[in-house]
Each structure stands twice: as structure tokens, then as C-alpha cells.
A and B are shown apart, each in its own frame.
Chain A
Amino acid sequence: MTRGLVEEFGPERVRDTPISEEAIAALGVGAAMAGARPVVEFMYADFMALAMEPIVNQAAKIRYMFGGKARVPVVFRAQEGAGRGNAAQHSQSLEAWFCHIPGLKVVTPSTPADAKGLLVTAIRDDNPVVFLEHKLLYNTKGPVPAGEHAVPFGAADIKRAGRHVTCVGIHTMVHKALAAAETLAREGIELEVVDPRTLVPLDIETILASVRKTGRLLVTHEAYERGGVAGEIIAQVVAAAFDWLDAPPVRLCGRNVPIPYNGALEMAALPQADDIVVAARQLVA
């Protein structure tokens, strides 16, 4: 994840740290206020729980509290997600925590090209950005534009076009939705797969345009369902495009349980491509 960085930029700028998450995050915030542009790497997003104070009470609020007289250009980077048997303390998807906090931007790339383009934008942004990758997607292969490649925040990407059901997915769920779309296509059901790419800011216009076309909405993420981002997206769509909906929107999310170690239980705790297929069939029925 950080391979080659120290060789390219040197040990002065690329530092190994003691295991001190709160301090690392807080130093990032302070350094950002004082003119640096730090990227703070946490490994597992679960460990960000130890650093919530500097992220939530400091970084997110400093500009506003100080009457717009400060900038906090820091990136908090971590991997989230389940699927490898890492169990309850190394598998969570915690993006909703950060979406809840005004002042933070939240990024969730699902492809190699987006990961590059969004990370560039995150580092250039003058605000604190929480940059969350999915650990299973590190092995994803895909074309990556060489040289300058910046993906703007607040621009969703339609990963597959379709006329019948809009499926908004985050991280691995984009890929599971694409797999489901193949199955559904053989039945004549066209799934439109929308990847918001950034959750704050959220490109609700692209989602609304898709829903106005399909009349059906399915939102899916690995994060726990209760209080998750799917609820927020559905609320916004219902408020803005209620008359365009032909069926109640559906969310397919992680179950409201800690991620279990056992393989079959872990699979059952997470939404799968088959769940999307079944839900899409019911939406068009």
C-alpha cells in the first residue's frame, strides 16, 4: 500500500510511526494547519476508532469554528471491509461514521483508476478527507491512466448503463452489482450500476437522473444497515423523486451484527451478488 514511497520521497517525508493512532491523526491535523499536506495511513479502518477525537472534534470543525480562517488539508487513509476471515475488529466498513460529521469529505473508490484519480484529488483538497479503500479490492486489476489523472469529488460514475433498475453500490458492492447485472441481463432485466465514488460530497443528481429513468432503486453496501449511507441516499431520493418511483426502494446492506470469523457466517453477514439478483427481480415484478 505504501510500496516504493520511501524510496521515492525519502524517510523524512514518509515516516513509519509507533502504534499511536490518536497521536498520528492529531499530528496530521496540526501539521495541516501549519502548512503541511499530510496523508495519515491507519491500516485497518477499525483502528480509526482510536483516532476519532482529532478527526471528528478537531479536523472536521476547525475551519468553521475559526470563522473560516484555517485550512486543514489532511487525508486520513484506511482499508475497510470484510471477506477474509479477519473477524469483528478488522473487517468493519465505517464510512457512515464520517459521513455524519460536517466538515469531512468521504471517498470510497472501487476501481484502480478511481483510486488513483480520487487520491490525487483528496491530497489536493484543502479540507480533511477520509479516504477509505476496501481490502479485497487491492487485488483488482484494471486500466489506470498514466500521468496526471484526477477524478473530481461529487461526480458519480455509471459503471454500467441499464433501463430497469438503478443499483447504487459502494466498494465491493459495485463489483457484485456488475456480476448481478450479467445474470439479470440474461433474463432481460437491465441493471444500471451507479458508483457514487465520493459519499461526501454526494452526486445525488446522477442518482436521481438514473431513478427517473428506471423508476426503481436498490442501494447496497457492506456497512451495517442501521444508520448506514443507504438510508441517507434513499431518503434523499424519496424526498426529491417520490413521484418517479414505481416501487419502494430497497437496501441490501451488512447485517446489524459484528463480522463473524466463520466463513459461512461471514458470507451471510454481507450482501452478495445473488441478493442483488433476487431483489432486482422483485423490484421489476
Chain B
Amino acid sequence: MSSTSGTVAEIPAELSPAQLVGMLRMMLRIRRFDQRALELYREGAMRGTTHPYIGMEAVAVGACATLRPQDRITSTHRGHGHCLAKGGDPRLMMAELLGRATGYCKGKGGSMHIADVDAGILGANGIVGGGIGLATGAALAARLARRDDVSLCFFGDGALNQGILHEAANLAAIWKLPVVYVCENNQYAMSARADAFTSVPDPAVRAAAYGFPGASCDGMDVLDVYRAVGAAVARARAGDGPSLVVCVTYRFMGHHVGDPLNYRDKAEVERWRARDPIERFRRVLVAQRILTPAEADALGAEVEREIEEAVAFAKASPEPEASALEEDVYA
């Protein structure tokens, strides 16, 4: 791990100022989106539940910044951040949260199933580990089509213990598939502590069992995520096979909107909040004179407006027609 406290990884030379500002904007967008989702849920505008990505923004943004538009990702139940970072439209996402006909899934999927297959977003997933095999299969398809596209598979520390990871990782290794397994180790799976439910303190060591590289990085530092995932993506694209990257991170909010959060202590939360990935990255960009504090504030205001616009779009959108019930069961 390159850094644990206030310091951050060095700025990679290939990232232009515009790209760096874009990454900060994306992190702000994800945070604001999920703050608004929580509010909408509490207003009763949403059904089911929602799993906020707040605190983990550096992972989705750092990882997706290494991808090309034609690359594919699979996401999780905590998927809003991944979707936005891969280029998802906040308006269509917000409309989906409200179950509207204009949403990504025409109102049939909701928060846990947002997908934009054309944009390479093969879907959030209600099944823990559900995306692991899919990402690996998408990598196989890229191979078969002789494309150099990469699959990037996000999954949580909880999914580390699903059998599918073992089966898919071995397949990816023997077939040298262009897939990057990105484990978001946010320390908990619901109330279960990763350090108590996973057999090794650093899950990255598991990659050795499959004969491919495994590395951990600071998941609260967008640049460190970019560096670690970038190396794995380059390897996959070059045809050298899969990798595992573990991003050490934390969710600031509960598991889902109704979580009583009675299983972790305040001091722990405060320690992680002190490493807020957005604050840290903003400080770096200001210190490097890539952005002035005033410009950074303006970015926040711009994102705020954009998310309000998304909410307005969603609220003004129609509910699905009754006939939608029977549509799209089959192609």
C-alpha cells in the first residue's frame, strides 16, 4: 500500500489536468448522487432499498479512469458509483431509482439492477458475486472476437468467499482472459467484518493460488487505485491474463439505507472519515495548482446542479405503461 494517511500517490504523468479535474468531478458526482438517493428514499420516492457508495468514490473513479469506452464492467448491489464512473447518465439512473419508464431499465430494475449494456456496464447485481462469472465471460467474448477489450469486475470483500470466484479465477488464468478482478475491501459485508470472515488479512495473496498477480492498494486514494488497476488493465490488454487488485476502503454510511449500524464503533468511522477520498484528492489538486480552491468549489456547485437536474428529470418522467409488465421477458 503506498499510503495510509494524508499523503497520496504521485500524479501519473499521463493524466492531463483536464483528466484529473474530471476525476474529481466524477467523485463529487457519485457522492452527490448517493446523498440524493438517500434523501429520495427517506422521502418515500424509492422502493426496495439503496446501498450508498459514499466513502468509496476513489475506487470506482480510479479504476474506471483506466478503461476505454468499449471495455466492460460488472458491478454489485452497491453499484451507483461504478455506473457513473463508467459513463452512466445520472438522469437515466435517477429515473430508474424512481421506477420511471425513462430509467435505464424502464423502471423494472431499480437501484440494484441498473445497467447500460451499450456503454459496457453489464449491470449492478443483486447476487453477491453474481458479476464475477459474467465479467470473466465477457473477457472470453472479447478474446473470441479478437478485440483487445478488457473486463473489469467489481466485487466486495463479502464476495471473496463465494465459490464462483475460485472457479472463474482458475478459468481466467488457464485461458489467459483479459479480466481484472477489483475487490472493494470496505471492511464489512453487512455486519460481518472482513478480517474475521476471510481467511487471510490481505486477500490479494489469493491470486498467487491461481498463478496471476495480486496487489492491494489504498482505496481511499484515487491515484493509487488508478496506478494499481492501470497496471492490471495494461497487462490484460496486452494478452497476459487476469489480475486481482484489492482496494482497501470504507463505506461511510450503513450497508443500506435502513442499517442501524450497531456493529462498528464511532472512533473507527471517524478514523476513516479523516481520510475522505474526495477531500484528499481535492487537496492534492489544489496543492499542485491544477485547481484553485474557488474552482474546486465551483465544481461542487456544478455537480449539485447536475444532480438536481437529474432528480427533476426523474420526477417529471412517466411511470411505465401497464403493458410493460409482459414486455422484455424474451428477446
Q: Mark B38-68, 1 if CB is under 8 A from A, else 0.
A: 0000000011110000000000000000000
What CA separation (Å) do A265 and B47 show in the bound complex? 12
* CB atoms of B129 and A256 under 8 A apart: no
What CA separation (Å) do A194 and B20 show in the bound complex? 65
- B290 smallest CB distance to A (angstroms): 41
Q: Does B107 contact A (CB under 8 A)?
A: yes
* CB atoms of B126 and A257 under 8 A apart: no
State which residues 292-331 of B face A: CB under 8 Å: 319-320, 322, 324-326, 329
Q: Does A4 contact B (CB under 8 A)?
A: no
B192 in complex: contacting residue of A16, A88, A261, CB < 8 Å: A16
What CA separation (Å) do A84 and B129 show in the bound complex? 23
State which residues 110-152 of B face A: CB under 8 Å: 110, 112-113, 125-130
- Count A-B pairs with CB separation below 8 Å: 105
* CB atoms of B126 and A88 under 8 A apart: yes
- B129 smallest CB distance to A (angstroms): 7
What CA separation (Å) do A228 and B163 show in the bound complex? 30
Given A19-B158, A255-B326, verify A262-B108 contact (CB < 8 Å): yes
* CB atoms of B110 and A261 under 8 A apart: yes
Residues of A within 8 A of B324 (CB): 260, 262, 265
What CA separation (Å) do A255 and B110 show in the bound complex? 19
Residue of A nearest to B112 (CB): A87
* CB atoms of B325 and A260 under 8 A apart: yes
Residue of B nearest to A17 (CB): B197
What CA separation (Å) do A271 and B96 show in the bound complex? 25
What CA separation (Å) do A20 and B157 show in the bound complex? 12
Q: Does A27 contact B (CB under 8 A)?
A: no
Per DSSP, chain B at the interface is loop
Q: Does B214 contact A (CB under 8 A)?
A: no
What CA separation (Å) do A17 and B193 show in the bound complex? 11
* CB atoms of B109 and A88 under 8 A apart: yes
A260 in complex: contacting residue of B46, B108, B161, CB < 8 Å: B108
What CA separation (Å) do A89 and B130 show in the bound complex? 11
* CB atoms of A46 and B192 under 8 A apart: no
Residues of A within 8 A of B107 (CB): 260-262, 265
* CB atoms of B163 and A87 under 8 A apart: no
Q: Does A269 contact B (CB under 8 A)?
A: yes
* CB atoms of A262 and B320 under 8 A apart: yes
How many residues belonging to A are interface residues under a CB distance threshold of 8 Å? 30
A19 in complex: contacting residue of B108, B125, B162, B322, CB < 8 Å: B162
- A6 smallest CB distance to B (angstroms): 12
* CB atoms of B326 and A257 under 8 A apart: yes
Residues of B within 8 A of A89 (CB): 112-113, 125-127, 130
- A92 smallest CB distance to B (angstroms): 11
A23 in complex: contacting residue of B109, B163, B197, B322, CB < 8 Å: B163
* CB atoms of B189 and A84 under 8 A apart: no
Given A20-B162, A265-B324, verify A88-B113 contact (CB < 8 Å): yes
* CB atoms of B163 and A20 under 8 A apart: yes
What CA separation (Å) do A20 and B167 show in the bound complex? 13
A258 in complex: contacting residue of B161, B319, B329, CB < 8 Å: B329
A268 in complex: contacting residue of B96, B99, B113, B325, CB < 8 Å: B325
What CA separation (Å) do A87 and B48 show in the bound complex? 7
* CB atoms of A87 and B126 under 8 A apart: yes
Given A19-B189, A87-B48, verify A256-B329 contact (CB < 8 Å): yes
What CA separation (Å) do A19 and B77 show in the bound complex? 14
Q: Does B73 contact A (CB under 8 A)?
A: no
Q: Does B198 contact A (CB under 8 A)?
A: yes
Residues of A within 8 A of B105 (CB): 261
What CA separation (Å) do A47 and B112 show in the bound complex? 15
Residues of A within 8 A of B83 (CB): none
Q: Mark A258-276, 1 if CB is under 8 A from B, else 0.
A: 1011111100110000000
- B219 smallest CB distance to A (angstroms): 20
Q: Which 3 A-B pairs have the closest CB atoms?
A: A85-B47, A89-B126, A261-B110
- Given A18-B160, A88-B113, 19 new contacts (CB under 8 A): A18-B158, A19-B129, A20-B162, A20-B163, A46-B127, A50-B163, A84-B48, A87-B110, A89-B113, A89-B130, A255-B326, A257-B329, A260-B107, A260-B108, A262-B100, A263-B47, A263-B99, A265-B107, A268-B322
Q: What are 8 A-to-B residue pairs whose CB atoms are below 8 Å?
A: A22-B163, A84-B47, A90-B48, A255-B325, A261-B96, A261-B109, A262-B100, A265-B99
Residues on A close to B: CB < 8 A?
16-23, 46-47, 50, 84-90, 255-258, 260-265, 268-269
